[in-house]
Amino acid sequence: MSTTGASADPLATLGSLPGVPESVESVRKSVDRVYGHRIMRRRSNEITAEAALRGARGSASLSGADWALEEVRRRTDFSGDDAARVVGASLRLTAEAGQLLSIWRQSPLRVLARLHLVAAASNDDRVGRPRQEGEPVDEPLVELPLPSAAEVHGRLEGLSELIIAGGSAPALVTAAIVHGELLALRPFTSHNGLVARTAERIVLVGSGLDPKSVCPAEAGHGELGRAAYLAALDGYVSGTPEGMAAWIAHCGKAIELGARESTAVCEALQRGAA
C-alpha cells in the first residue's frame, strides 16, 4: 500500500487527494437520499435483503459469474458448475459479513481468514490462511504481478494496524484502500475478489456510513463493469496520487450506484403500497 506522505493518519492523507473530498461528499448525499426515503422507516429490512441479493450478484459478476438477478433470486442449488459455485460463495459471504462487524476493528486478519473459509467452503488446508511461497493463486480475472508471500504478510500486517488504529479518514477512503490492497495482494489461493469486495462492505457498514447495508457497492462495481474495475485497480497499484484518487473515486461511484438501486427499490415498494 502506498500513501502520499508521512502522516500519523495516512488514510486521512489520501482523503485530501484532488477529487477525493468531492467523491466523499457525493457518496454521503447518495447514501442520505436512501436513508431519508420514507419507505426506509417502515420496510428497511426488505431493502437490506434486496440490497444483499443485488450486491452478491454484482460481486459474482466480477468473478466471472454474470447471472441475471432473477436467476440468483430463483436458484437454490449452487453446487453445479464453476459459475454456480461463484454465485453461491458470493451469497454466503454477503450473509456472513453482518456477523463479523464487531470483530473487524479488533482483528481484521481473523475476519479475512473467516471470509475465505466461507467463500471456499472446503477442507483444503490452504483455506483460511494467507498463501505460502510457491502456492498458486486462482484469480484469473486479475492479471497483475503477484506479490511474494513475504510481501503479502508484511502488507497485511500493515493494513491490519491501520484498521485497528482507526483514524479520521472518511469511510469511502478506508473501504477503497482495504478493497484495493486485498485485490493487489491476492493473499489467498482463491476467491480474493469476492473477499475483497465483502471487506469493503464490512468497512462501509461498520463505519456507520451505511449501517443498514442498503447501499451495495458490489452492485455498483458490477454495473460499472470489469474493464473499468481493472483499469481503476491499475491506478491503485501504481501508487501515484492520481492513480489512488482514481481508484477511490471509482469505489465512490460504485457506492452511489448501489445507493441508486436501493432508492429505486424504495420507489417501487412505495408505488406498490399506494
pLDDT category of residue 76 using cuts at 50, 70 and 90: confident
H, E, C per residue of 79-93: CCCHHHHHHHHHHHH
pLDDT digits (tens, 9 = 90+) for 197-234: 999 999 999 999 999 999 999 999 999 999 999 999 99
pLDDT digits (tens, 9 = 90+) for 95-131: 999 999 999 999 999 999 999 999 999 989 999 999 9
